Amino acid sequence: MSESINTPNPSVKKFLPIILATAIFMQMLDSTILNTSLPSIAKDLNESPMNMQNAIISYVLTLALFMPVSGFLADKFGTKKIFIFALIIFSIGSLFCALSQNLMHLVISRVIQGIGGSLMTPVGKLALIKTFPKNELLKAMNFAIIPALIGPVLGPLVGGYMVDYLSWHWIFLINIPIGLLGIILGLRYMPNYQSASSEFDLKGFIIFASASLLLSVSLELFGNTTHTTPVLLIFILGFLMIYYYYKHATKTKNPIFPLNLFQVRTFRVGILGNLATRLGISSIPLLLPLLIQIAYKESAVISGWIVAPMAITAMFGKSSVIHILNKFGYRKTLMTNTFIIGALICCLGIPGIHTSIFWFIPIIAVLGFFNSIQFTSMNTISIADLRNDHTSSGNSLLAVNQQLAIGFGIAFGLIILKSFEAKFENPHLAFRYTFFVVGILTILSGFVFRRLHVKDGENMKSE
């Protein structure tokens, strides 16, 4: 069956970026809002705060596991039906989280949330890609991606205030009105694209999901255990599963992620660049609040306010990125921008223990501006040259890659921090050296974008 809508009306093109922005905001907020609330939830559920990490891990892993199926379901049942279904499941999961009476209930509810989240954002993004011509896609994606920058910054701040002034239940209940808004807008304005769908590659899905699970678990354990040998074995097994998927895909007619996706150079560079640069970028919203609370002995709310300017300056990045890309092109923009981000991360390690914490505000504010440019540029160049029949699988793989990269980045930052904590009695020194290492590695990751050609992304330019 061909796509059901080919010329969407102006209302669809006006509201579709808002619908996707709503989904992204809800998912990104939910990925981070729990961090500052765990001690309060643990106390209420009679659990140790150390055990509460399962509530975070279960959600992140569910996202990584089920995102690969989003493209197939959207092609088979339609983007509108799957998107509305995802919002309903996510909202129900949020309600169950708020009603949880023990940790097991909470973990199961977070898995339900994760199933909704794993479909919600990739399917919304797929509808956007199919609705807008390539010369308009950058502007639309640019608008929708801003919540991905704001969510991780507002999450700890909103979570801290809700726990202090309301109760932890509200960090989940806040999703319900946002979800209802998304459902109402989706029912009216979400196009229901369907494509001729082949038989689902169940074996490939299981292999790829197993690889994602093993790699995610190994990186999570690296930062939380002293027994490295079994963790290293899990990590190696994850890579072996990726190789097994490669062998499977070469012999399968319609694999869940076709290998010829990687023959498209812009997609290949975009995927690798996303993974490499997010290793550094993703750790900062976690490391900086930890530094302010542990080394400077400030409250969670104060640390949230220190990081908050990143969201404000992301707005300015959003309004500038189209002009920057039109003038300098993707290759020069992404290389230079990554170098700047790496240098700014290094700057976070400069202030001494007696320096005012407000010294961090201008650095984090400028970082927010360049992060906005980075995410929009990487996401659009990745899908710039994909054929229509590769859009669904390519978009799904990009979403999985981003989610894994965020998880890897957080785990990577914590691993470096803990290695320095073992060497220095002063926790502030451990944080400073961590920022230096993460910043330098981010600078080096900018060379990934050398593989782009000067003219790459020309078809994405706005007229």
Amino acid at residue number 72: F
- Report d(CA 167, CA 7) in Å as an integer: 47
Give the list of residues 6+ apart from residue 131 with CB closer than 8 angstroms, or none.
5, 8, 12, 13, 16, 140, 191
Is residue 15 predicted with pLDDT exceeding 80? Answer: no
The interaxial angle of helices 284-294 and 300-307, nearest 10 deg, is 140
| pTM of the shown model | 0.75
Tokens representing 88 are 């309903």
pLDDT band at 227 (very low <50, low <70, confident <90, very high): low
Q: Is the dihedral of CA 140, 145, 146, 151 positive or negative?
A: positive
Q: 289 — phi, psi (to 5°)? A: -60, -35
Asked if residue 117 lies in contact with residue 30, where contact means CB atoms within 8 angstroms, the answer is yes
Residue with tokens 């989940």: 172
In sequence order, what are the residues at sequence separation of 6 or more whose Cβ sits closer than 8 angstroms to the Cβ of residue 65? 118, 209, 212, 213
Report pLDDT for 6: 47
288 neighbors 348 (Cβ within 8 angstroms) = yes
Is the pLDDT score of 124 beyond 60? yes
Query: What CA–CA distance (Å, rounded) separates 141 from 383?
Result: 11
* Confidence (pLDDT) at 1: 40
- CA dist 448 and 335 (Å) reads 8
Percent of the chain with pLDDT over 70: 86
pLDDT band at 151; cut points 50, 70, 90:
low
Q: Which of 154-158, 230-234, 257-261 has the lowest mean pLDDT?
A: 154-158
For residues 233-262, give the mean pLDDT: 86
Confidence of residue 306 (pLDDT cuts 50, 70, 90): confident
Residue 36 has pLDDT above 70, yes or no: no
Task: Kindly report the backbone phi and psi dihedral angles of residue 243, in degrees, each rounded to the nearest multiple of 5, phi listed first.
Answer: -65, -40
pLDDT over 70 at 9, yes or no:
no
Q: How many CA atoms lie within 13 A of 327 on its CB side?
A: 5
Q: Please compute the mean of the pLDDT values over residues 246-265 and round it to a whole number.
A: 83
What does the pLDDT read at residue 95?
Answer: 93
Res. 117 pLDDT band, cuts 50 70 90: confident
Nearest to 30 by CA among 217, 174, 181: 174
Mean per-residue pLDDT of the chain? 80
Q: Taking a C-beta distance cutoff of 8 angstroms, is the pair 204, 245 a contact?
A: yes
Rounded distance between C-alpha atoms, residue 206 and residue 241, angstroms: 10
Reported as a single tens digit per residue, the pLDDT across 44-65 is 887 765 566 667 767 877 887 7
Please report the pLDDT score of residue 225 as a whole number.
60
Rounded to an integer, the average pLDDT of 193-197 is 72
- Cβ atoms of 88 and 76 within 8 Å: the answer is no
pLDDT band at 437 (very low <50, low <70, confident <90, very high): very high
